[in-house]
């Protein structure tokens, strides 16, 4: 590559992604990655000050407390998830990869937005069925969720 290589300013991992996308004929590969890189930077800025101990405490709290797990610096995992969804939405809007109807890929985040808005996870829904309609029979999960 020459000194004027458009990917020189990107992180090494992002450079490889751009080059691969260019090889596969993606016309705005650099624009896609710049949008993704900006979202990654915004997400990292949100958590980079957390200590190893704080990250470890969160890792242990989430399986037990789900969206109500406290995050370092205050707030809950639910609030953090909302912030991350906002960052992802902005990155996808910036990327501007549109379908035939003119929508970007942000629609794929809608199920996650619903979880954050309601505070009810898929695991909560399964537990509700397990304790209710399934009468404690976990094998019912295969009847309802196999494909």
The H-or-E segment that residue 15 falls in is helix 12-23
pLDDT digits (tens, 9 = 90+) for 89-133: 888 887 777 777 887 788 889 999 999 999 999 999 999 999 999
pLDDT digits (tens, 9 = 90+) for 16-50: 666 666 565 554 544 555 566 778 888 888 899 99
The rounded distance, in Å, linking the Cα atoms of 101 and 97 is 11
- Ordered by start, the domain boundaries in the chain are 49-145
Task: List residues bridging with 70 in a β-sheet.
Answer: 76
**What would the mean pLDDT of 50-66 be, rounded to a whole number?**
95
The rounded distance, in Å, linking the Cα atoms of 119 and 68 is 8
Q: Return the pLDDT at 91.
A: 83
H helix count then E strand count, the chain: 7, 0
Which phi and psi angles does 76 have, rounded to 5°? -125, 165
């Amino acid at each position: 590559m020459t000194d004027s290589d458009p990917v020189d300013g990107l992180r090494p991992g992002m450079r490889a992604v751009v080059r691969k996308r260019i090889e596969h004929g993606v016309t705005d590969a650099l624009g896609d990655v710049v949008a993704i890189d900006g979202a990654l930077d915004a997400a990292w800025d949100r958590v980079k000050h957390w200590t190893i101990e704080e990250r470890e405490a969160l890792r242990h709290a989430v399986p037990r407390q789900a969206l109500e797990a406290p995050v370092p610096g205050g707030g809950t995992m639910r609030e953090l998830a909302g912030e991350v969804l906002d960052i992802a939405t902005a990155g996808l809007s910036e990327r501007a990869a549109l379908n035939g109807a003119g929508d970007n890929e942000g629609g794929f985040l809608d199920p996650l937005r619903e979880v954050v808005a309601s505070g009810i996870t898929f695991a909560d829904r399964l537990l509700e069925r397990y304790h209710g309609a399934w009468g404690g029979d976990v094998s019912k999960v295969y009847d309802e969720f196999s494909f």
